[in-house]
């Protein structure tokens, strides 16, 4: 995606509109003078208004004092070495003259020359074509997902990121650092109040502005003391202990192990949950399969009528649950035969992306989608649901003449969907220049994994590649980083599965009937494997879920029957727990950004039955959240957790792993 700004001449009214988009002068920073020119096009302004928070690097289009400029959220944020500037305008028509105000955020006693380090490179670039002098034009300015002030205080970094459509401030604190030295200074506001549950409320000449407190992961209450505000001078305020928990508690959530909501979801037949995703507001998006014609749908959803009619029928369901546990929308998705939902993701606007498998020739595809024709024997599908759940933005088949299913899906900041799964089709649609355009599975146990990137409008495949060797291979989970690189995990029975030199494990460890997990990073254009490694021991191992952090480290959850599965010293459980009859443990692994080593590896399970790892997520501090199910009565629980008692037969589990996996 590229935004090009074409500027010729500018009236005073249009100059103000241009200032709003961040090209103009901050009155408190003398050197930030606008270049002469014309207005931003309506199309570009609209695109910027809909975009997530983006940090545009200064490559000469701005004064040297500004290093990055944040687009998205309220106002414009400017990142300089010694301060953060926020430009606000009074409400009203952007085309009319409006009053503006500048707020300056600084940190007394901080390092006057911290290193500004951008992270999460986005595919988006911004080009500035201003005036008639090409020497002043700047093309393809890099855009990032966040910026880190390294060692703002000794051992303390400040990260400025986007969250829920606006910017957020977060501290990363290394062991031994002194949080008590951190203070926040606000200049330019008429008054500053502390508001419970909101943070700081800044009263300005153009209205009030809510500024959340700095987030620190798991900050113990009372460690520093409560935040307080002191007025130093006219429009200058100091905030001591300006901290909040990284994940603020919801009302009534003083006990972090409290169940916030719980509900059944289904009708009078079998209903199965397949996957869940969560947006920036705390709403949950769930996909699965239902055989219930009375599954609870909501008025106005894109399909409220059950479609599966035969004995083998069944529909996918797509549900959005509000943060308070009520249904925002619920819909069927499918045709007259069997349909299965396995993966779901959500973008910054609340659109849901769904993948799975369908046996229905009349599955509801949309005009202009990549493939509107069922290919027989069962196809994968990729669907984008509108934020309101009232329409399919696109829906396409994905497959060849054999059988396919989509197992995992992810979405990038530009709305492109990344899908992995399994195919038995030698004519599965691949693209020119992709890593592997040739089907590899040939025997009775054959079958390849696939990795596909779907264009944001669903009309084409940006890339599509096979992934596998001469026996059975399946992709289960996929994640995408800020640069568009895809991270895939799954399972393989192929001793010639394509690994890369220098990867953690290039030797197949499984047998003829027991395979290895794999972890693969695909380059942003789909043309190569950045790294590819086996992951496992001498028995059966499979990867199910994968996540990626801002550094490019991959977190993998899965299941192993191998007592020699690779773990690391110091992890919370380096010892295999699996029993004799059901010898399976869940595992949790963190893979280094270059794929060359395990940063940690641990078993997760009990000793008297099986434990299965299914999904994983990672927060900004590097803590991993793992879900799965267990039949072990001695599965490791923690004191005061929500439920520490095994209930019967098979229980689901949720576990949080510390950033270093020591606990």
Using DSSP bridges, classify how beta strands 598-604 and 585-591 pair: parallel, antiparallel or unpaired.
antiparallel
Q: pLDDT: is 139 or 303 the higher one?
A: 303
The pTM assigned to this predicted structure is 0.68
Cβ atoms of residues 602 and 568 within 8 Å: yes
> How far lies 636's CA from each of 63, 260, 518, 567, in Å?
56, 23, 26, 17
With 50 as the cut, is the pLDDT of residue 398 above it?
yes
Query: What is the distance between the alpha carbons of residues 450 and 69, in angstroms, rounded to a whole number?
Result: 38
Of 118, 122, 124, 182, nearest in space to 149 by CA:
118
Mean pLDDT of 193-207: 82
Cβ atoms of residues 256 and 220 within 8 Å: no
pLDDT digits (tens, 9 = 90+) for 38-63: 233 333 333 333 345 788 888 887 77
With 80 as the cut, is the pLDDT of residue 579 above it?
no
* Residue 490 confidence (pLDDT): 96
Mean pLDDT of 270-275: 89
Q: Which two tokens stand for residue 152?
A: 């703002």
Query: What is the distance between the alpha carbons of residues 623 and 627, in angstroms, rounded to a whole number?
Result: 13
CATH topology of domain 340-629: Methylamine Dehydrogenase; Chain H (2.130.10)
Q: Which residues of 488-506 are buried (b: 16+ CB within 10 A; e: fewer)?
A: bbbbbbbbebbbbeebbbe
Cβ atoms of residues 203 and 235 within 8 Å: no
pLDDT digits (tens, 9 = 90+) for 105-138: 999 999 998 999 988 777 666 776 666 677 777 7
* Residue 223 confidence (pLDDT): 53
Give Cα 345 distance to the centre of its chain: 8
With 90 as the cut, is the pLDDT of residue 500 above it?
yes
With 90 as the cut, is the pLDDT of residue 224 above it?
no
pLDDT digits (tens, 9 = 90+) for 377-386: 899 999 999 9
> How far lies 300's CA from each of 55, 59, 306, 319, 391, in Å?
37, 47, 15, 13, 9
With 70 as the cut, is the pLDDT of residue 26 above it?
no
With 60 as the cut, is the pLDDT of residue 271 above it?
yes
Query: What is the distance between the alpha carbons of residues 543 and 557, in angstroms, rounded to a whole number?
Result: 6
DSSP 533-585: EEE--SS-EEEEEEEE-TTS-EEEEEEE--TT----TTSS--S----SSS--E
With 50 as the cut, is the pLDDT of residue 625 above it?
yes
With 50 as the cut, is the pLDDT of residue 24 above it?
no
Of 247, 328, 167, nearest in space to 625 by CA:
247
> How far lies 418's CA from each of 59, 190, 463, in Å?
31, 47, 10
Close Cβ partners of 276 (under 8 Å, ≥ 6 residues apart): 284, 285, 286, 287, 344, 615
Provide the 8-state DSSP code for 14: H
With 90 as the cut, is the pLDDT of residue 167 above it?
no
Q: Which two tokens stand for residue 68?
A: 């990055």
* Residue 621 confidence (pLDDT): 83
Query: What is the distance between the alpha carbons of residues 112 and 497, in angstroms, rounded to a whole number?
Result: 51
Q: pLDDT: is 608 or 636 the higher one?
A: 636
Q: Which two tokens stand for residue 583?
A: 């010898």
3-state secondary structure of 179: helix
Of 8, 53, 269, nearest in space to 162 by CA:
53
Query: What is the distance between the alpha carbons of residues 141 and 315, in angstroms, rounded to a whole number?
Result: 46
Phi, psi at 352, each rounded to 5°: -100, 140
* Residue 411 confidence (pLDDT): 96
% of residues, the chain, pLDDT over 70: 82
With 70 as the cut, is the pLDDT of residue 620 above it?
yes
With 50 as the cut, is the pLDDT of residue 315 above it?
yes
* Residue 163 confidence (pLDDT): 67
Mean pLDDT of 217-238: 74
pLDDT digits (tens, 9 = 90+) for 85-100: 988 877 655 556 667 8
Mean pLDDT of 179-183: 90
* Residue 44 confidence (pLDDT): 34
Mean pLDDT of 274-297: 90
Q: Where in the chain is the domain with CATH 2.130.10?
A: 340-629
Of 88, 93, 57, nearest in space to 74 by CA:
88
Give Cα 289 distance to the centre of its chain: 24
Q: pLDDT: is 452 or 53 the higher one?
A: 452
Which stretches of 436-472 are assigned E, i.e. beta strand?
448-454, 461-467
């Amino acid at each position: 995606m590229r935004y090009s700004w074409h500027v010729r001449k500018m009236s005073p009214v249009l100059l103000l509109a241009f200032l709003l988009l961040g090209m103009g002068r901050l009155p408190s920073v003398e050197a930030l003078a606008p270049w002469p020119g014309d207005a931003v096009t309506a199309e570009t302004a609209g695109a910027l208004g809909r975009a997530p928070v983006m940090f545009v690097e200064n490559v000469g289009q701005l004064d040297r004092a500004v290093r990055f400029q944040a687009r998205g959220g309220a106002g414009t944020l400017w990142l300089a070495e010694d301060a953060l500037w926020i430009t606000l305008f009074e409400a009203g028509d952007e085309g009319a003259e409006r009053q503006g105000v500048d707020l300056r955020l600084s940190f007394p006693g901080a390092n006057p020359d911290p290193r500004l380090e951008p992270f999460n490179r986005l595919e988006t670039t911004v080009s500035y074509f201003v005036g008639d002098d090409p020497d002043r034009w700047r093309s393809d300015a890099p855009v990032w997902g966040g910026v880190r002030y390294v060692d703002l205080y000794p051992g303390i970094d400040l990260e400025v990121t986007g969250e829920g459509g606006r910017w957020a401030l977060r501290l990363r604190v290394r062991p031994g650092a002194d949080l008590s030295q951190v203070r926040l200074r606000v200049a330019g506001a008429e008054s500053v109040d502390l508001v419970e549950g909101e943070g700081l409320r800044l009263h300005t000449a153009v209205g009030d502005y809510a500024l959340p407190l700095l987030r620190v992961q798991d900050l113990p209450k009372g460690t520093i003391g409560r935040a307080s505000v002191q007025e130093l001078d006219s429009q200058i305020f100091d905030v001591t202990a300006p901290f909040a928990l990284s994940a603020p508690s919801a009302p009534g959530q003083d006990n972090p192990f409290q169940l916030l909501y719980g509900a059944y979801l289904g009708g009078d037949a079998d209903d199965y949950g397949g996957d869940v995703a969560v947006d920036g507001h705390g709403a949950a998006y769930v996909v699965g399969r239902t055989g219930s014609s009375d599954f609870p749908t909501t008025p106005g959803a894109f399909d409220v009528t059950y479609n599966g009619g035969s004995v083998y029928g069944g529909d996918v369901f797509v549900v959005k649950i509000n943060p308070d546990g009520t249904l925002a929308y619920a819909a069927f998705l499918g045709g007259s035969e069997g349909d299965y939902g396995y993966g779901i993701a959500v973008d910054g606007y609340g659109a849901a992306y769904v993948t799975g498998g369908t046996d229905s020739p009349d599955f509801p595809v949309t005009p202009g989608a990549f493939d509107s024709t069922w290919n027989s024997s069962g196809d994968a599908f990729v669907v984008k649901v509108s934020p309101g759940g009232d329409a399919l933005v696109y829906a396409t088949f994905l497959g060849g003449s054999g059988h396919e299913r989509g197992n995992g899906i992810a979405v990038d900041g530009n709305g492109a969907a990344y899908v992995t799964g399994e195919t038995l089709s030698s004519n599965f649609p691949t693209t020119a220049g992709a890593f592997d355009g040739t089907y590899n599975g040939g025997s009775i146990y054959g079958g390849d994994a696939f990795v596909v990137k779907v264009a944001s409008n669903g009309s084409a495949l940006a890339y599509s590649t096979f992934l596998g060797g001469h026996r059975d291979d399946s992709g289960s989970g996929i994640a995408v980083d800020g640069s568009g690189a895809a991270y895939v995990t799954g399972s393989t029975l192929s001793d010639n599965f394509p690994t890369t030199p220098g990867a953690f494990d290039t030797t197949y460890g499984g047998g003829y009937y027991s395979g290895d997990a794999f972890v693969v990073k695909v380059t942003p254009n789909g043309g190569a494997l950045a790294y590819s490694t086996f992951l496992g021991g001498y028995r059966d191992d499979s990867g199910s879920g994968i996540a990626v952090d801002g550094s490019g480290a991959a977190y993998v959850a899965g299941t192993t029957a191998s007592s020699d599965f690779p773990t690391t010293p110091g992890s919370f459980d380096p010892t295999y727990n699996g029993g004799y009859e059901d010898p399976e443990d869940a595992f949790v692994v963190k893979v280094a950004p270059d794929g060359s080593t395990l940063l940690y590896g641990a078993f997760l399970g009990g000793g008297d039955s099986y434990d299965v790892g299914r999904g994983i997520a990672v927060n900004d501090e590097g803590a991993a959240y793992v879900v799965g199910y267990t039949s072990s009565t001695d599965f490791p629980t923690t004191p005061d957790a929500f439920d520490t008692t095994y209930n019967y037969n098979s229980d689901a589990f949720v576990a949080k792993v510390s950033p270093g996996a020591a606990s």
